[in-house]
Amino acid sequence: MHHEPKNSSLSSAAAQNGVLFGTALCTSDLLSQRSTRAILRDCSIITPEFELKWDAVCRSQGNLDYSAADKLIAFASDHALAVHGHTLWWHEAVPPSFDKSSDQQFRDAALDHLTRTVARYDGQLRSWDVVNEPVEPDHGRSDGLRETRFLAAFGPDYIETAFREAALWDPKALLVLNEMGLEYDSPAAERKRRQMLTLLEREKARGTPIACLGLQSHLTALEQPRDHPELRAFLREVRAMGLSVMITEMDVSDHLCPRDRRQRDAIVAETYRTYLDLVLEEAEVLAVSTWGLSDDRTWLNGFRPRTDGAPQRPLLFDRAIRRKPAWHEVRGVLLNARQDGARSSGHRIGTD
Ligand code: XIL
């Protein structure tokens, strides 16, 4: 058992096992002293929640605005925090001005955005979500790829194209393929895991420089199973491919939980503990990030509102930025993680 001061920070607990702990944030979070203090105390990596996305940077035809992203990256640099870039190509963050563009115009614009953005921050970001949410079994393709503008315009090679371009413009950044829903316990999720493995094998065979698989980890309390053999098996196969893992957007929706706050907080805390324990046991985890620091910032009130109208309590800090039971459970797991493998050097598949 490690002898840590009682209230050691999440980042120092994580660092015991070579893991970074962080959160998604936006520039408005930095206006709050309490949030900023908590971020500086507990985080060693930050992720721009939306201000580095294509539709946030590309305001209107040709007018590019990186000012908010620049602020977040300057804040990280001023405080020696790592930055996880989110995200270069995501079907839900394409600027509306390209809705009517031809495939050729879209290809030029998407490549221009990717190369310009990666080159702008070359050497300043530890990692990038290069492609976000590429797999969708319900779209019925044999390769499981989601039908997006990127697929329509570039064809199925768009993933290789994106990763090779990103590696060209920032040779040191860890390049991540980020996905949601791989963590769930359902036949659909198992199909998605199988298709993700096939995709990763295919990309590895063609030399695509993917270093890491991002698990968004948007969990649902009372749905996420305590143990999860299929997820364990999946993570072992990912590890056998030489891929590390980042938990990129973890939160635990309490929309199925009773209203009572104490009960909800306890169920949410237990969900964090069992999930994080499993992933840290089975995968080479480089970083663990929550999708927001405190309950007053969660996107889930919009995405997954409770039917009783009570605000969601999915994160590690409450609305007054006080630590919740989930904070203590996550710290305990980070402190005692059994990461027995050698720390991954960010090995990229396809380059061996
Ligand atoms: C969400 C942000 O939290 C919201 O503020 C924004 O309006 C929409 O996007 N998966 C992702 C994230 O990869 O980019 C999404 O973030 C949440 C789901």
List pLDDT tens digits, range 232-263: 999 999 999 999 999 999 999 999 999 999 99
Query: Separation of 260 CA from ligand 1 center, angstroms?
Result: 27
Q: Is the pLDDT of residue 98 over 70?
A: yes
Q: Whose CA is nearest to atom 6 of ligand 1?
A: 50
How confident is the model over 13-17, as a mean pLDDT?
A: 94
Question: What is the pLDDT at residue 327?
Answer: 98
Domain membership of residue 349 (yes or no) is no
Domain membership of residue 289 (yes or no) is: yes
Give pLDDT, residue 61.
67
Strands 285-290 and 244-253: parallel
226 in Cβ contact with 258 (< 8 Å):
no
What is the 215 CA–ligand 1 centroid distance (Å)?
A: 14
Q: Which atom of ligand 1 is found nearest the CA of 178?
A: 13
Q: Domain for residue 4, yes or no? A: no
Please report the pLDDT score of residue 352 as a whole number: 39
Q: Would you say residue 4 has pLDDT above 70?
A: no
Query: Which alpha helices (H) appear in the chain, and where do they start and end?
Result: 10-15, 33-42, 54-57, 67-78, 103-120, 149-154, 158-169, 187-205, 229-240, 261-282, 300-303, 325-335
Chain segment 249-304, per-residue pLDDT in tens: 999 999 999 999 999 999 999 999 999 999 999 999 999 999 999 999 999 999 99
Half-sphere exposure of 157 (CA within 13 A, CB side): 7
**50 C-beta closer than 6 A to ligand 1:** yes
C-alpha 247/C-alpha 281 separation (Å) is 13
Give CA separation, 66 vs 59, 88, 162, in Å: 10, 13, 20
Structural domain includes residue 343: no
Asked whether residue 180 carries a pLDDT value surpassing 80, the answer given is yes
Report the separation in Å between the CA atom of 315 and the middle of ligand 1, taken as the mean of its atom positions: 15
Contact 134, 179 (CB under 8 A): yes
Q: How far apart are CA 215 and CA 218, in angstroms?
A: 9
Average pLDDT over residues 189-212: 98
Q: Judge if the beta carbon of residue 216 lies within 6 A of ligand 1.
A: yes
Residue 346 lies in a domain: no
**Structure confidence by residue, pLDDT tens digits, 105-153:** 999 999 999 999 999 999 999 999 999 999 999 999 999 999 999 999 9
Query: What's the rounded Cα separation, in Å, for the pair 157 and 218?
Result: 28
Q: What is the pLDDT of residue 240?
A: 98
What local confidence, expressed as pLDDT, does residue 349 receive? 56
pLDDT the model gives residue 62: 75
The token duo for 36 is 């900023």
Average pLDDT (44-48) is: 98
The 3-class SS string of 204-251 reads: HHCCCCCCEEEECCEEECCCCCCCCHHHHHHHHHHHHCCCEEEEEEEE
CB of residue 195 inside a 6 A radius of ligand 1: no
State how far the Cα of 169 lies from the Cα of 318, in Å rounded to an integer.
40
Q: Is residue 264 part of a domain?
A: yes
Is 276 domain-assigned? yes
Share of the chain above pLDDT 70, in %: 93
pLDDT for position 93: 98
Supply φ then ψ for residue 323, to 5 degrees: -65, 140
Total domain count, the chain: 1
Q: Residues 27, 31, 34, 37: is their CA dihedral positive or negative?
A: positive
Q: Give the confidence band of 311 by pLDDT, cuts at 50, 70, 90.
A: very high
pLDDT tens digits along 64-90: 999 999 999 999 999 999 999 999 999
Single-letter amino acid, residue 102: S
**pLDDT at residue 313 is higher than 90:** yes
Q: Could you tell me which residue, 305 or 341, shows the higher pLDDT?
A: 305
User: CA triplet 329, 334, 337: central angle to 5 degrees?
Assistant: 115
CATH number at residue 154: 3.20.20.80
* Distance from C-alpha of 240 to C-alpha of 235, rounded to nearest angstrom: 9
277 CB contacts (<8 Å, ≥6 apart)? Answer: 333
Q: H/E element holding 180? A: none
Residue 341 counted as domain residue: no
Question: Cα angle at 155 between 152 and 156, to 5 degrees?
Answer: 120
> In angstroms, rounded to a whole number, what is the distance separating the alpha carbons of residues 69 and 192?
32
Task: Work out the average pLDDT over 194-212.
Answer: 98
Range of the domain at 194: 10-336
Ligand 1, atom 9, residue with closest C-alpha = 50
